[in-house]
């Protein structure tokens, strides 16, 4: 007896019907799945390609920015070394500080940028170039000043030679990096900009730089403090026949002193002393101030207050420094004799 004849269908019949669906319907589902997978893969590949190209484009922009900064610094450095015989010590120090600051910026740009895989070789050469340039700058600054201060010393010569080697390594590494980057234009289908020439190697070479430093008069260390001006308040109205200044009647005298750093190196803790001597009792009083720091060519004005009486011969003696190793101390001392007029 058949169960079908009673209107019942076996559950197994449903399963068999599903598993063995018509071939045409199964083929259509497989094709739809394949097409959908291919579309997803294309979208992923296109998105990935665009993302990689954005990273590469960003990297190229950053390298161009760093190369422009390096080119500017290199030009300034070569100009500085070319004119070393006529450069003042402070100008040399200031210019080198500016060049090294720019070089540090270049290093930061290269350190922080996202590097795409195809630019790894170029980036390694760029970093080698920057590291070599920076080391060369650090070496040459101190060596040039040392050679100027002691022309007979041997150490500066070795340091300048070492710096020249570092500059040459950096220049060649930069050239190689640019070649690597230009090769990406066809391989990665991106437009590579024109990069500037960067050459830190001095035109005269290590020998020329050393000779210029040794013979330069502006680079040689020179410490020189000076008393520039001394004025009194009330001011001197005239002089006696003996050349003694005459100050109007007053009970207190303000002494204004200007001191200047006429050397080419900053000087710290500059002592300034003003002594007021009198012929009446042979006694004197003094005041002193310590100036924290004076840069080359910098001047500062100071004020000192003293009690005075009429009809007394006084002498103001102002003394600044001397600084350690100061070569000229004649301008450190200033004398001014004066007398205070009677009242009325």
Global pTM reads 0.67
Same domain, 56 and 189: yes
Q: Tokens for 258? A: 């200007």
Which of 6-20, 111-125, 311-325 has the highest mean predicted lDDT (pLDDT)? 311-325
- Residue at which a domain ends, from 215, 246, 281: 215
| Residue at 335 is within a domain | yes
Q: Which residue has the higher pLDDT, 290 or 52?
A: 290
Q: Which residue among 215, 242, 265 closes a domain? A: 215
| 31 within a domain of the structure (yes/no) | no
267 and 183 housed in the same domain: no
C-beta separation of 114 from 58 below 8 A: yes
Average pLDDT (181-191) is 74
DSSP classification of residue 24: H
pLDDT confidence bin for 33, thresholds 50/70/90 = low
Instruction: Say if 274 falls within a structural domain.
Output: yes
Q: Give pLDDT, residue 31.
A: 59
**pLDDT tens, 38-47?**
544 444 344 4
Residue 264 and residue 130 in one domain = no
Asked whether residue 211 falls in the same domain as residue 230, the answer is no
265 phi/psi in degrees, rounded to 5? -140, 140
Hey, which residues does 287 pair with through a beta bridge?
274
Judge if 197 and 256 occupy the same domain.
no
The H-assigned helical ranges of the chain are 11-19, 23-82, 89-112, 120-149, 155-187, 205-215
pLDDT for 145? 95
Question: Residues 74, 159: one domain?
Answer: yes
Single out the residue in 215, 235, 251 at which a domain terminates.
215
Is residue 34 a part of any domain in this protein?
no
Of 300 and 189, the one with more pLDDT: 300
**Span 234-253, average pLDDT:** 91
Distance CA 313, CA 254 (A): 16
CA distances from 125 to 3, 121, 187, 268, 274 (A): 85, 7, 19, 43, 62
Report the SS3 class of residue 288: strand
pLDDT-wise least confident of 41-45, 112-116, 257-261, 323-327:
41-45
Range of the domain at 98: 43-215
Which residues contact residue 331 at a Cβ distance below 8 angstroms, ignoring those fewer than 6 apart?
A: 224, 225, 226, 227, 262
What's the confidence (pLDDT) of residue 136? 97
Domain harbouring 305, CATH code: 2.60.40.10
* Residue 173 structure tokens: 């590494």
- Pick the closest to residue 131 from 171, 175, 96 (CA basis): 171
Please provide the average confidence, as pLDDT, over all residues in the chain: 85
Which long-range CB contacts under 8 A does 188-191 form with residues at least 24 apart? 188/53, 188/56, 188/118, 189/53, 190/53, 190/56, 190/57, 190/60
Residue 22 lies in a domain: no
Q: Which pLDDT score, from 0 to 100, does residue 51 have? A: 47
Whole-number pLDDT of residue 28: 59
State whether 149 and 177 are in the same domain. Answer: yes
> For 70-87, what is each residue's pLDDT tens digit?
999 999 999 999 999 999
The verdict on residue 288 lying in a domain is yes
**Which of the pair, 109 or 254, is modelled with greater confidence?**
254
26 inside domain: no
Query: CA 146 to CA 160: how far, in whole Å?
Result: 11
| pLDDT greater than 70 at residue 20 | no
Same-domain pairing of 195 and 233 = no
Residue 3 lies in a domain: no
Same domain, residue pair 230 and 308: yes
Residue 23 pLDDT: 58
Tell me how many domains the chain contains: 2
HSE-CB at 312 with a 13 A cutoff on CA atoms is: 19
Percent of all residues in the chain with a pLDDT value above 90, rounded to a whole number: 60
Q: Which of 322, 191, 174, 216 is nearest to 262 (CA)?
A: 322
pLDDT digits (tens, 9 = 90+) for 134-178: 999 999 999 999 999 999 999 999 999 999 999 999 999 999 999
- Within this chain, do residues 116 and 262 fall inside the same structural domain, yes or no? no
Chain CA centroid to CA 124, Å: 24
Greater pLDDT, 40 or 269: 269
Of 246, 221, 201, whose CA–CA distance to 324 is shortest? 221
Closest of 202, 205, 182 to residue 194, by C-alpha: 182
Residue 278 sits in the same domain as residue 129: no
Averaged pLDDT for residues 228-232: 96
Residues 240 and 305 in one domain: yes
């Amino acid at each position: 007896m058949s169960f079908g004849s009673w209107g019942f269908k076996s559950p197994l019949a449903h399963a068999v019907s599903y598993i063995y669906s018509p071939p045409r319907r199964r083929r259509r589902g497989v094709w739809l799945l394949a097409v959908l997978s291919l579309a997803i893969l294309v979208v992923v590949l296109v998105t990935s390609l665009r993302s990689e190209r954005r990273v590469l484009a960003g990297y190229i922009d950053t390298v161009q920015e760093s190369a422009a900064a390096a080119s500017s610094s290199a030009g300034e450095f070569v100009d500085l070394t070319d004119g070393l015989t006529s450069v003042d010590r402070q100008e040399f120090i200031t210019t080198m500080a500016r060049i090294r600051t720019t070089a540090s910026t270049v290093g930061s740009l290269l350190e922080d940028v996202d590097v795409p895989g195809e630019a790894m070789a170029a980036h390694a050469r760029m970093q080698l170039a920057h590291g070599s340039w920076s080391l060369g700058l650090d070496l040459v600054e101190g060596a040039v000043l040392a050679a100027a201060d002691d022309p007979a010393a041997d150490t500066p010569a070795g340091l300048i030679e070492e710096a020249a080697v570092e500059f040459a390594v950096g220049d060649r590494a930069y050239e190689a990096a640019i070649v690597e980057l230009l090769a990406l234009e066809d391989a990665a289908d991106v437009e590579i900009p024109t990069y500037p020439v960067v050459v830190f190697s001095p035109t005269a070479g290590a020998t020329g730089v050393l000779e210029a430093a040794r013979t330069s008069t502006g680079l040689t260390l020179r410490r020189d403090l000076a008393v520039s001006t001394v004025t009194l308040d009330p001011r001197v109205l005239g002089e006696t026949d003996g050349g003694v200044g005459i100050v109007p009647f007053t009970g207190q005298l303000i002494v204004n002193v200007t001191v200047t750093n006429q050397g080419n190196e900053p000087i710290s803790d500059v002592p300034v002393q003003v002594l007021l001597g009198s012929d009446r009792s042979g006694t004197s009083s003094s005041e002193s101030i310590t100036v924290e720091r004076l840069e080359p060519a910098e001047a500062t004005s100071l004020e000192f207050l003293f009690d005075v009486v009429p009809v007394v011969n006084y002498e103001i003696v102002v003394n600044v420094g001397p600084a350690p190793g100061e070569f000229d101390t004649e301008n450190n001392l200033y004398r001014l004799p004066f007398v205070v007029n009677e009242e009325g």
